[in-house]
Each structure stands twice: as structure tokens, then as C-alpha cells.
Structure 1
Amino acid sequence: MKTAHDLVAAARGRIHEIDPDAAMAALAEADVVIDVREADEYTAGHIAGAINIPRGLLEFRLSSAAELDSRALRVVLYCKTSGRAALSAVAMADMGYLDVHSIAGGYDAWVAAGKPVMKPAVPSFE
């Protein structure tokens, strides 16, 4: 019986992962950056320009959003540590998307590398 870890390991063998430094260039060239974390994770902080499509909704959103229909889109995916993004990249490849990259180590690696993030502004009550 396979575990989630087994599925992620197998997915990593099928996808193109890029480290945070290479991701900076890939983000500049991407047509779309997708954060596949849950909405609360995205709201707490995300990569600038990323749209939030949680992993559990990805295939459905890709199938229903005309702006995501082209299989030639240059896509960069990320999640917290890269497991969900790896599974998402495989799903996108299976759907025919041709240019999908996943950030190795995910958002955590991005932050640890000192890369810029968007965080919500905390309102001042003074």
C-alpha cells in the first residue's frame, strides 16, 4: 500500500523542480504562478503575483477557467514544502500542460532563502 510520501516521491521523479534562486527567473517569465496551499495559508503570506488555487480544487479550476485553458502556459507552482505542488505538477502534466515548474522546498524554502513575500497589512487601531 502506498503512502502520501510514496506518491510525492514518485511525483518528484516526473516533474521539474527548481530551487528558489532559479524560481526568481522562472517567476519573471511565468504566465501564471499558482499557490496550491489552502486559503488561510495563502492569506498569511504568499509570493507576489501568485493566485491561490488549493490542491483539492486545481483540476476543476483549470478545467473551468478560460484564462488557464492554454496548455502552453508557463506555470510555476508552490505549496508549503513542495509535496502538494509536486502532486499538482503531475496532475497538470497529465492534463496536457507542457511547461510546469515546482519550487523545491516550497514556500518555506522561499522564505528561508530570504526571497520577497506578500503579507497582509495589520490594521492600526491607534
Structure 2
Amino acid sequence: MAVTPHDLVVEAKSQIKEVSTAEAQALMTKRTIIDVREYDEYAAGHLPGAINIPRGVLEFKIGTVGECADKGKPYLIYCRTSGRAALSTVQLQKIGYSDLISMAGGFEVWNTEGRPTEKPEPINFE
């Protein structure tokens, strides 16, 4: 019997630690924040200080990002609604990252609650 993407997310969430957006905000200064959404989502707004490493390249790219090379360092992972973050957290655990927290509700809930966001500076070609 085939599993659905929803089944995969439910299974992943049973294997990780998840916190609310309020708890995530309280932890922001104590953790490196990783946004696993695509760049266009990140560019539209993201958690302050978040590093964008899209889910599709996460396992390949994370070790090349200086702030993310230490597998024992504390990380907060999020996406739009929390599914990709949960899947990402499980995969990062598998490759040796040990202090990971995923944000329940994702950026969608964070933004709806009016929590602080940033946008990258647009590229100036002049």
C-alpha cells in the first residue's frame, strides 16, 4: 500500500521535536534559523536572521553553509506550514544533526500572528 505525502509528514512529526511559533520566537537568539522554503517564498518574507536552504538541496548544501556546518549546534527549522520542516528535520537527524527543533504552523502562522519578518535587500544593478 502506497503512503501519501501527508502520511510521510505525520510520521516525521512523530520523530521530531516541534514548538509553537511563540516558543520559536523565544528561542530565536539561541538557535540558527533555517528556512527550507524555496527562494521566492523566502524573498517574500522570512523570520529575522533566517538562512535559506531549500528542502530540495538541504542535505547537499547544509554542510557548505558556514553557520550550519556544526552538527551539534542548536537549529530551528521552518517552512510555510510545517510539513517540509518536519521532513527536513528527520533528514538532518539522519545525517548527524542532533539539536533540531521544527516550528509548528510554519511561516504562515508566524505571519498571521504578526510576528517580526524580514525581506532580503533587492539586488541593485546600478
* TM-score (normalizing by structure 2): 0.89
The aligned amino acid for 1:16 is: K
SS of match in other structure, 2:18: strand
The alignment's C-alpha RMSD in Å is 1.6
Q: How does 1:110-125 map to 2 (within 5 A)?
A: 110-119=110-119
> Aligned runs of 1:9-88 on 2, under 5 Å?
9-30=10-31, 32-88=32-88
- Specify every segment of 5 or more residues in structure 2 that has no aligned partner in the other structure, as ranges: none
Partner of 1:109: 109
Q: Distance in 1 between matches of 2:71 and 2:105?
A: 25
- Structure 1 runs (4+) deviating above 4 angstroms are none
Q: CA deviation at 1:69?
A: 2.2
Q: Distance in 2 between matches of 1:11 and 1:117?
A: 27
Amino acid at match of 2:45: G
Find the counterpart in structure 2 of residue 5 from structure 1.
6
Q: Counterpart of 1:101 in 2: which secondary structure?
A: strand
Q: Sequence identity of aligned pairs in percent?
A: 46
Task: Give the gaps of 5 or more residues in structure 1.
Answer: none
Q: CA deviation at 1:68?
A: 2.1
CA distance in 2: counterparts of 1:119 and 1:66, whole angstroms: 21
Contact 2:9 2:86 in 1 (8 A): yes
| TM-score between the two structures when normalised by the length of structure 1 | 0.89
The count of residues paired between Structure 1 and Structure 2 equals 121
